[in-house]
């Protein structure tokens, strides 16, 4: 993607923020009913808790990469991620984040304005999806520079395979500038993170994805909708426990990494995230 492409996406996001305001609909899937986006939001928060609950006993400076208005900031602060910093390329979103959650800077994810080793954690939830893989990997290199050894990172991004299927089934989505391709399984688990980051866990949401058509039908029937959403979320947790969720087609996939306390010896690659990659 060239600079003009990134400028177009930034302008589209700013326009969307002006239209929708600072609500989940502004940063989640605009074609879905609010009740379905609320379930997706709930799943995002559960993955965030999985990533950072083990480190919640001590104050941890953390970066919300692509923070938006701060949709997940309250959950992050509850997990002990404090101080919490935001970064987004929309000035309006940064202003809203600063007003309610903590300092936020308007900048690109490929040019992080933080000192080396100044952060103890970070999460990027649907923040890298607007960049080609090489630029997203560059952003992760920038993040690595800013992270203190021992830091934990959560990445959660759309699946290219699911988005490709959605565009075939719904041709109108091909023209949406904010409906971007996402990352393939190999790119997400093997190309984006720096080689020396240690993989902790990974997963996806295949059951929530499979339940999506039925949720769209039942979205105005409160009780059946809640039952279906709860069952899908519970099954996805079970799939993660048995380390199989990432094998299936899903809207999103996620991975948790740690930056080692010491660099790998010279001449070795260290623990590669690519070792987790499935080629099936």
What is the CATH number for 115? 3.40.50.150
* Confidence band of 23 (pLDDT split at 50, 70, 90): confident
* 101 in a structural domain: yes
Per the structure block, which two tokens stand in for 7?
């400028």
Query: In this predicted structure, what is the pLDDT of residue 27?
Result: 81
Distance CA 18, CA 15 (A): 5
Strand ordering across the sheet containing 104-106 = 104-106, 84-88, 62-65, 119-125, 147-158, 252-258, 198-204
Per the structure block, which two tokens stand in for 189?
């688990």
Per the structure block, which two tokens stand in for 164?
């490709």
* 136 in a structural domain: yes
Distance CA 266, CA 103 (A): 37
pLDDT digits (tens, 9 = 90+) for 159-183: 998 888 877 776 555 555 544 578 9
* 238 in a structural domain: no
Distance CA 152, CA 157 (A): 17
**Under DSSP, is residue 208 helix (H, G, I), strand (E, B) or coil?**
helix
* 213 in a structural domain: no
Query: In this predicted structure, what is the pLDDT of residue 129?
Result: 86
* 26 in a structural domain: yes
**Under DSSP, is residue 115 helix (H, G, I), strand (E, B) or coil?**
coil
Structural domain tally of the chain? 1
Rounded-to-10 torsion of CA 244, 141, 15, 104: 110
**Average pLDDT, rounded, for the chain:** 84
Tell if the pTM clears 0.95, that is, is over it.
Answer: no
Distance CA 80, CA 59 (A): 6
pLDDT digits (tens, 9 = 90+) for 114-141: 999 999 999 999 999 888 899 999 999 9
* 218 in a structural domain: no
Please check the confidence at residue 267 and state whether its pLDDT lies above 50.
Answer: no
* 212 in a structural domain: no
Q: What is the domain extent for residue 37? A: 3-206+246-276
* 237 in a structural domain: no
pLDDT digits (tens, 9 = 90+) for 206-245: 999 999 999 999 988 999 999 999 999 999 999 999 988 8
């Amino acid at each position: 993607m060239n600079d003009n492409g990134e400028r177009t996406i930034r302008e589209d996001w700013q326009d969307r923020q002006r239209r929708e305001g600072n609500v989940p609909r502004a940063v989640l899937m605009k074609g879905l009913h609010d009740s379905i986006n609320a379930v997706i939001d709930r799943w995002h928060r559960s993955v965030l808790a999985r990533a950072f609950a083990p480190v919640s006993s001590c104050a941890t400076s953390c970066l919300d990469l692509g923070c938006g208005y701060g949709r997940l900031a309250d959950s992050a602060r509850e997990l002990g991620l404090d101080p919490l910093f935001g970064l987004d390329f929309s000035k309006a979103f940064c202003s809203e984040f600063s007003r309610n959650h903590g300092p936020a800077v308007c900048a690109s994810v490929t040019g992080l304005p933080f000192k080396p080793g100044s952060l103890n954690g970070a999460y990027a939830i649907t923040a890298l999806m607007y960049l080609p893989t090489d630029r997203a990997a560059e952003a992760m290199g920038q993040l690595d520079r800013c992270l203190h050894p021992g830091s934990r990172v959560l990445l959660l991004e759309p699946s290219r395979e699911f988005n490709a299927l959605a565009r075939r089934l719904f041709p109108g989505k091909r023209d949406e500038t904010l409906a971007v391709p996402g990352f393939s399984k190999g790119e997400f688990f093997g190309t984006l993170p720096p080689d020396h980051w240690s993989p902790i866990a990974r997963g996806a949401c295949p059951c929530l994805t499979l339940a999506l058509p039925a949720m769209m039908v039942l979205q105005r029937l409160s009780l059946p909708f809640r039952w279906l959403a709860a069952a899908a979320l519970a099954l996805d947790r079970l799939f993660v426990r048995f380390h199989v969720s990432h094998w299936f087609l899903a809207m999103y996939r996620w991975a948790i990494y740690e930056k080692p306390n010491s660099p790998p010896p010279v001449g070795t690659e260290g623990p590669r995230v690519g070792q987790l990659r499935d080629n099936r």
